[in-house]
């Protein structure tokens, strides 16, 4: 079509030239008359007019060139636009294809979790973790919830420890909490309630803000972040807890039995209706806490300071204190110190309705984990305020000292046995 147009244009130009040539005298006369009209006093008027004509023709040529350039630019732009749309469409197709592949991988990984064969389950766990790493924006939270839900199902406290697959549980814990290479789960928190962590390595992991209700914890817990976690109804049995951050965590009806706690932080924690039996606490921060209806029974405190703590109806029955201090506490009401041993101990704030019967100066014979039967030695033992100088302070209001009766010991033994039975039932 363009070739025909060009041939037609050339033909028209030739016809115009032929017409001009055949009428040259006429046009020449007109040209000279027009030049005389424009430049009546200029001898070179024909040349000047010819320059004007050439300039006009040149200008028309430039305009035509600009027109052609504009058309080429428009054509190029349309081509680029079409090419861009094609690329975008191709990218969308690739993205859809990639998402379809990820969805297929995700589906297969979920199906693998339902297998009864350990290698297949581990493959599904690894695939889910890889999907979360590759697509953290879309999948990290989803994968985290799936993996945590799976842990809760196979490590529930309702199962015997022997019936759990430790390898699978530990693998998930390692992927979620111990993969330090740009973990896709950083900043996320979830639900691990009712999980039995016995024989699971959780050292060095971050469980802050997690729901850990009714969990059973392992025997070794070091450098774990449990700040702002919900630790209600949890069980710590025969555990060594060191360098753990419990700041602002919540304990309600939590249970510690034969536990050693050291170099840990309980600042702003809430300890409510909990039980610590045969525990050793040393070099840890108990400040700005609320301790309510909690029992520290037959426990041992060393280098422990209770600073700015609210203590209400707390029992330390049969416990021992070495280099400990109660100072600046907002309230200290109805505290049971019966049968307690003290060395380098002082209370520097008001203590209202405290019970100090059977208290004594601790000697080298006091063991860290005091056996229950050793309390029989304190029957009818009378507190000696001359040995325990801090009892002579004016800070004690409506507090009592005196002999520890057999009825006191028997009452405590009944409470102790009931608590131990309840704890054993939880661990079965």
Cα separation of 247 and 229, whole Å?
9
pLDDT at 17 over 60: no
The distance between the two most distant Cα atoms of the chain, rounded to a whole number of Å, is 152
In the block, residue with structure tokens 């009825």: 407
Reference 185, options 207, 155, 170; nearest CA is 207
Angle at 213 between CA 207 and CA 215, to 5 degrees: 80
Domain contains 214: yes
Domain boundary at 180, 204, 225, which?
180
Strand partners, 252: 272
Confidence band of 278 (pLDDT split at 50, 70, 90)? very high
Q: Which of 120, 181, 125 is nearest to 149 (CA)?
A: 125
Q: Please count the structural domains in the chain.
A: 2
Are residues 197 and 113 located together in one domain of the fold? no
> Is 107 part of a structural domain of the chain?
yes
Top mean-pLDDT range of 9-13, 31-35, 297-301, 419-423: 297-301
Whole-prediction pTM: 0.77
- The verdict on 308 and 394 lying in the same domain is yes
Interval 384-395: pLDDT, tens = 877 787 777 768
Summarize the confidence of residues 11-33 as an average pLDDT: 60
Angstrom distance (rounded) from CA 198 to CA 207: 16
* Cα–Cα dist 2/326, whole Å: 102
Measured CA to CA in angstroms, residue 398 lies from 48, 354, 355 at distances of 127, 7, 9
Is 244 a member of any domain? Answer: yes
380 three-class SS: coil
pLDDT band at 365 (very low <50, low <70, confident <90, very high): very low
Residue that finishes a domain, picked among 180, 203, 221: 180
pLDDT in tens, 59-86: 777 777 777 788 888 877 877 777 776 6
Placement of tokens 């039975």 in the chain: 421
Distance, in Å, from the CA atom of 385 to the CA atom of 366, rounded to the nearest integer, reads: 19
> Looking at the structure, do residues 221 and 308 belong to the same domain, yes or no?
yes
Give the dihedral sign, CA 68/73/76/82: negative
Q: What are phi and psi of 48, to 5 degrees?
A: -65, -40
Pair 212, 149 in one domain: no
Q: What is the mean pLDDT of residues 134-142?
A: 90
Calculate the alpha carbon distances from 335 to 130, 265, 327, 339, 357 in Å: 54, 23, 15, 13, 12
Cβ atoms < 10 Å from Cβ of 388: 20
Q: Which H or E run includes 241?
A: strand 240-242
Q: Does the pLDDT of residue 170 top 90, yes or no?
A: yes
End-to-end CA distance of the chain: 93
Q: What is the pLDDT of residue 98?
A: 65
Chain centre distance of CA 29: 97
Six token digits for residue 394: 């004016």
CATH number at residue 344: 2.160.20.80
Q: Name the nearest CA neighbour of 52 among 23, 24, 21, 31.
A: 31
Q: Which of 147, 180, 213 is a domain's end point?
A: 180
Instruction: Show the tokens assigned to 272.
Output: 């409510």
What three-state secondary structure class fits 294? coil
Whether 38 is covered by a domain: the verdict is no
Rounded distance between C-alpha atoms, residue 267 and residue 245, angstroms:
9
237, 278: one domain: yes
Residue scoring higher pLDDT (17 or 222): 222
Does residue 75 fall inside a structural domain? no
Look at residues 239, 293, 292 and name the one whose alpha carbon lies nearest to residue 261.
Answer: 239
The pLDDT score that the predictor gives to residue 393 is 74
Q: Could you tell me if residue 135 is inside a domain?
A: yes
State mean pLDDT over 320-335: 91
- Are 287 and 265 contacting, i.e. CB atoms less than 8 angstroms apart? no
Is 175 among the domain residues?
A: yes
138 and 202 in a single domain? The answer is: no
Q: Is 337 within a domain?
A: yes
Q: Are residues 176 and 196 in the same domain?
A: no
What domain range is 240 assigned to? Answer: 192-427
Query: Reduced to 3 states, what is the DSSP secondary structure of residue 386?
Result: coil
Tens-digit pLDDT profile for residues 81-107: 777 766 666 666 666 666 778 888 889
Listed in order, strand segments (DSSP E) in 11-112 are: none
For 220, residues 6+ apart whose C-beta sits below 8 A from its C-beta are 201, 203, 239, 240
């Amino acid at each position: 079509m363009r070739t025909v147009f060009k041939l037609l244009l050339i033909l028209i130009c030739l016809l115009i030239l032929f017409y001009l040539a055949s009428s040259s005298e006429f046009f020449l006369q007109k040209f000279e008359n027009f030049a005389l009209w424009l430049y009546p006093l200029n001898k070179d008027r024909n040349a000047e007019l010819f320059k004007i004509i050439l300039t006009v023709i040149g200008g028309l040529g430039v305009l035509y060139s600009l027109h052609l350039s504009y058309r080429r630019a428009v054509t190029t732009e349309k081509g680029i636009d079409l090419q861009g749309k094609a690329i975008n469409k191709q990218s969308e197709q690739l993205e859809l294809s990639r998402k379809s592949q990820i969805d297929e991988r995700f589906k297969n990984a979920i199906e693998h979790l339902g297998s009864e064969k350990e290698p297949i389950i581990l493959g599904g766990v690894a695939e889910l973790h890889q999907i979360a790493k590759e697509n953290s924006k879309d999948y990290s939270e989803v994968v985290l919830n799936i993996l945590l839900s799976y842990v809760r199902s196979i490590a529930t406290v309702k199962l015997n420890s022997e019936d759990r697959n430790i390898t699978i549980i530990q693998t998930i814990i390692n992927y979620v909490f111990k993969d330090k290479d740009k973990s896709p789960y950083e900043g996320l928190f979830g639900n691990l309630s009712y999980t039995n962590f016995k024989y699971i390595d959780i050292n060095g992991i971050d469980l802050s803000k997690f729901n850990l209700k009714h969990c059973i914890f392992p025997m070794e817990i070091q450098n774990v972040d449990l700040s702002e976690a919900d630790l209600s109804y949890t069980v710590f049995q025969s555990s060594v807890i060191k360098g753990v951050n419990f700041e602002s965590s919540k304990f309600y009806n939590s249970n510690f039995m034969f536990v050693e706690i050291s170099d840990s932080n309980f600042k702003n924690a809430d300890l409510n209706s909990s039980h610590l039996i045969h525990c050793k606490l040393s070099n840890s921060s108990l400040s700005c806490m609320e301790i309510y209806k909690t029992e520290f029974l037959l426990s041992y405190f060393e280098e422990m300071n209770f600073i700015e703590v609210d203590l209400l109806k707390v029992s330390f029955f049969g416990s021992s204190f070495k280099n400990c201090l109660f100072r600046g506490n907002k309230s200290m009401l109805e505290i049971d110190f019966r049968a307690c041993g003290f060395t380098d101990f002082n209370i520097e704030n008001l203590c209202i309705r405290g019970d100090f019967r059977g208290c004594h100066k601790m000697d080298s014979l006091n063991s860290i984990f005091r056996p229950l039967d050793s309390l029989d030695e304190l029957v009818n033992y009378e507190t000696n305020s001359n040995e325990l100088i801090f009892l002579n302070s004016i800070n004690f209001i409506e507090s009592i000292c005196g002999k520890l009766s057999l009825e006191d010991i028997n009452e405590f033994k009944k409470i102790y046995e009931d608590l131990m039975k309840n704890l054993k039932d939880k661990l079965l």
